Homo-oligomer: A and B are copies of this chain.
Amino acid sequence: MNEELEMLYEKLLYSFENRKFADLRMALLDMEPFDIAQFIEDNLDEKAQVVFFRLLPKELASDVFVEFDSDTQELLIKAFTDKELKAIIDDMFLDDTVDIIEEMPANVVKRILKNSAPEDRKQINELLKYPDYSAGSIMTTEYTSFSAKSTVKEAFDKISRTGQNKETIYTCYVTDSKKHLIGVVTVRDLLFADKDELIENVMDPSVITVDTLEDKEEVALKFSKYDFIALPVIDHEGCIVGIVTVDDAVDVIQEEATEDIQKMAAILPSEKPYLKQSVFSIWKSRIPWLIMLMLTSTFTSIILAGYESRLSPVLYAFVPMLMGTAGNAGGQTSVTVIRALALCEVEPKDLFRVILKEVLVSLAVGLTVAVVCFGKLMLLDRLYDASITVDVSLVISAVCLISIVLAKLVGCMLPIFVKLVRLDPAVVASPVMTTIVDALSLIIYCSISIAILV
């Protein structure tokens, strides 16, 4: 947090605690809703949060409300009178209302729906039906549309009349009488056009659209490809049912990146910020994979126990190095491929190109590491362990090379196979892959060293 904001927060707290409410309102009017929400959550106890929220200038209340995390929202809704709740809901965009509803317990949902305007309630119920991963779940139904035969002047009139309640007015859509999407027109186009021109002559008839059930991650990718402010969402009949705006796409991109990072680190994804999660919920998100990976490491124990009597202690000393190197090498590849899949830079049909590339890279990387490893063994490791002979060093370096090649092959194929069976590649990143690679490299190490050295 920057200093300016920190000073502002202190000022707010001072005004609030000393009941200088006029000063408080003045300061609040100049602030962004996000910053006000953060101030309330981080600096006030539950009771004060409710009091403070009621002091907010009316025009800010709903904007601040949507920025709270769901615990605070629930707390406030429970404290609201029906009238207060209704005022907030009426002022919110529908997609925000839906987002909030999805996080609330049943009795709170009931109260929210009861206090929504009847026409909103219907749309909210429609929006709630879209699955969590879909474009439908992040869209809003509040967009601006024109008919193709209206003029630019009429379009501006419509914007002035109805635009206050729309999430964006800058991108508008042109529909026929049955709501089929036939074109897109921006306020920019309208501003540069003659006032009497027909919309059909100003609009762009080729529109990039998304389907209601399209993965929201793909929708977000379209924003990063095409630089739009909004994208129309259409149903299977080509009718426009809503729009997704770029600010929602930004949130999706952030969340999906966080989620992928969590999965790659063997954590079950969570949407809440770290400091706001309880110890129990953190425990829940971390324990499943940790136990699973601990159990699967039984393989390495079995392998090592099996070779127990035949492997000399000097060779044991390099097991962590070999397994670590193989794990890191495989992790580099699997993470690269998983990210490329997520950004659609690589698709399952590229499997053979990826394998070919990784074979070449792994040979280059493996040879380099093996040579350095051989040098390290002969120059450094011999200093503390005299039983490291040239033969031992050669075996260890060779196993290093073979493990790296194998690890990188597993690392590139595994995510693509997982994607092909429509599961999430991110969950097979480092830890899962490492378990496989650990076992493989151990078997190779033990069998080669026994064949050659014993």
Contact = CB atoms under 8 A, between A and B. Distances in A.
Interface of A: 1, 30-32, 34, 156, 159-160, 163-164, 169-170, 187-188, 191-192, 205-206, 208, 223-227, 229, 246-247, 249-251, 253-254, 257-258, 260-262, 264-267, 273-275, 279-280, 282-283, 286-287, 289-291, 293-295, 297-298, 300-302, 304-306, 308-309, 313-314, 316-321, 323-325, 328-329, 331-332, 335-337, 339-340, 343-347, 350, 353-354, 357, 360-361, 364-365, 368-369, 372-373, 376, 380-381, 384-385, 400, 430-431, 434-435, 438, 442
A250 B253 contact: yes
A250 B319 CA distance: 44
Contacts of A229: 170, 229, 246
A262 to B, nearest CB: 7
Contacts of A1: 344, 347
A226 B63 CA distance: 11
B275 A340 contact: yes
A43 B256 CA distance: 31
Given A187-B187, A267-B336, 15 more contacts: A156-B191, A262-B335, A266-B332, A274-B346, A279-B357, A282-B361, A294-B325, A294-B369, A298-B321, A298-B376, A298-B381, A301-B317, A304-B316, A305-B317, A328-B431
Contacts of A335: 261-262, 264-265, 267
A205 to B, nearest CB: 8
Q: For the complex formed by this chain, how many copies does it contain in all? A: 2
A350 B265 contact: no
B275 A251 contact: no
A314 B307 CA distance: 11
Contacts of A159: 191
A436 B300 CA distance: 21
A162 to B, nearest CB: 11
A4 B224 CA distance: 19
A287 B362 CA distance: 10
Contacts of A274: 336-337, 340, 345-346, 354, 357
Nearest to A324: B297
In order of increasing CB-CB distance, the 6 nearest A-B pairs are A257-B257, A265-B335, A227-B247, A30-B206, A297-B321, A304-B317
B365 A293 contact: no
A220 to B, nearest CB: 8
Contacts of A318: 301
Contacts of A261: 257, 260-261, 264, 335, 339
B286 A361 contact: yes
Contacts of A431: 328, 331
Contacts of A208: 32
Contacts of A289: 328
Nearest to A225: B34
Nearest to A372: B291
A364 B208 CA distance: 50
Contacts of A343: 254, 258, 273
B320 A294 contact: no
A317 to B, nearest CB: 4
Nearest to A325: B294
Nearest to A291: B372
A192 B384 CA distance: 80
Nearest to A247: B227
B332 A286 contact: yes
Contact of A365 (B275, B287, B340): B287
Contacts of A293: 324-325, 328
Contacts of A435: 324
Contacts of A249: 250
